[in-house]
Amino acid sequence: MQGIAGKVRHLASGRFLRDVLKLALGTVLGRALSLAALPLVTRLYAPEDFAILAVYLSLVSLVSVMACFRLEVAIPLADDETDAANLLALALTALFVVSGIALLLTLTMPSPLAQLFGKPEIAPHLWLVPLGVALAGSYAAFQFWATRARRFGAIARTRVGQAVTGVTTILTLGWAGMAPLGLLLGNALNTGAGGVTLAFQAVRSDRRTLRSICPNRMRAALRKYYRYPLYSTPEALFNIAGIQVPVLLIAAYGGSEAGFLLLAMQIMTAPMTLLGASISQVYMSRAPEEFRQGRLAYFTFSIMRRLVIIGTGPLVAAALLSPILFPWIFGVEWARSGEIVAWLAPWMAFQFIASPVSMVMFVVGRQRGMLILTFSGAVVRIGAVILSMTLGISAVEMFAVSSAVFYALCCAVFVHASQAESLKRELE
């Protein structure tokens, strides 16, 4: 056992660490630019503009997470290059259809949709939702393709480019008085503009592999990987609904409270964006091989342990200092966001540990278990917000506490899944 653990530690400190650093460097630069611009952004846009942005981001997140039918997630885990290429084609086809439907709805009935979401002010800007979905979905698909090829340097460069494009758009249109359009369009570019670059690189470097795409192979790939659209799509939808539906409820009934919550979440997700997402992609590229070698439990636990060490300090510091620093950095009208940060700290800590290794459930074939877990999380978090509104207490605080409970449960489930599968393979 010590020998296997030693090998895993060696892997985690060698090539794994280099891959993480490549991704983290680009993510750090991109995220640092976005964070550095926030004090200017909060002075160009009001909390009410951020509340509209919160609704926009919630809608884009809810649609884009299922726009590719989660077939993009299977790309780095596919058995061979032919399967991976046809999964990419399937994902992009699904994205085209979903984005087209979203565009048709937002162009033909913007006012009824805006009323449904509780934010009539967003009606003139709803056309940006399908654009955001198309950008986010295409970037996700080509990012997973690049992850399979371990082109982590290319992914890192797109993250910097997206940040530059997004921040420039937000500031330029903000100075021109085009609020909240600049805020919405800038965030759309910040999350998906890099998909174009990754697509060109895929066509240039993988032309031979991409030629294997054809309708028959696409149908065969869909039959082979049907569990992803069948189980992972509703699972991902429940997962994102557990975050975004409460935000929509808070925006509809809490006025500017959603804007304060959004700023606090952007600050607190910085550690996850800086390292968590990078570790997740590298973990995904390595986990299938670790599973085949019977080392998945050791590999998963070693990553989670490193995440605890890395994330605890910054999150605790943010919780303690934010109520003091927010009014000074972002303006006195944003003091409420500093208070919210302290409530978010436990949630973000558990999510930072759980999210990067969540793909363990797909590696070991427990898509149904992941679906049940995320459905339960959505019920708990949405229910907590509705209950708080019924009782007349703060919905934001209830949202934070219920989310912390859910992600703590996720940590336990992911560890158990990796251990159970390793034990099963040893007994066989």
Estimate the share of the chain in helix, then strand, then coil, as percent rounded to the nearest 5.
90, 0, 10
What pLDDT does residue 421 have? 56
Counted domains in the chain: 2
Instruction: Say whether both 422 and 320 belong to one domain.
Output: yes
Tokens read off for 236: 């991902």
Instruction: Say whether both 16 and 90 belong to one domain.
Output: no
Which residue matches tokens 């925006």?
251
What pLDDT does residue 177 have? 94
The residue from 225, 257, 279 where one domain ends is: 225
> Count of H helices and E strands in the chain?
21, 0
The residue from 225, 255, 283 where one domain ends is: 225
pTM: 0.82
Instruction: Say whether both 36 and 120 belong to one domain.
Output: no
Instruction: State the pLDDT confidence band at 424, using cuts at 50, 70 and 90.
Output: low
* pLDDT, mean of residues 344-361: 91
CA dist 403 and 376 (Å) reads 11
Rounded-to-10 torsion of CA 171, 173, 179, 181: -110
CA dist 166 and 57 (Å) reads 14
Q: Which of 8-12, 124-128, 239-243, 353-357 has the lowest mean pLDDT?
A: 8-12
Instruction: Say whether both 12 and 82 belong to one domain.
Output: no
The residue from 195, 225, 255 where one domain ends is: 225
Q: Which of 12-26, 39-53, 60-74, 127-141 has the lowest mean pLDDT?
A: 12-26
Instruction: State the pLDDT confidence band at 271, using cuts at 50, 70 and 90.
Output: low
pLDDT at 256 over 80: yes
Instruction: Say whether both 248 and 152 belong to one domain.
Output: no
For 318, the domain range is 1-43+226-428
What pLDDT does residue 272 have? 66
Instruction: Say whether both 324 and 361 belong to one domain.
Output: yes
* E-strand stretches of 37-97: none
Instruction: Say whether both 242 and 303 belong to one domain.
Output: yes
Instruction: Say whether both 212 and 268 belong to one domain.
Output: no
Instruction: Say whether both 389 and 342 belong to one domain.
Output: yes
Instruction: Say whether both 201 and 220 belong to one domain.
Output: yes
Instruction: Say whether both 113 and 4 belong to one domain.
Output: no
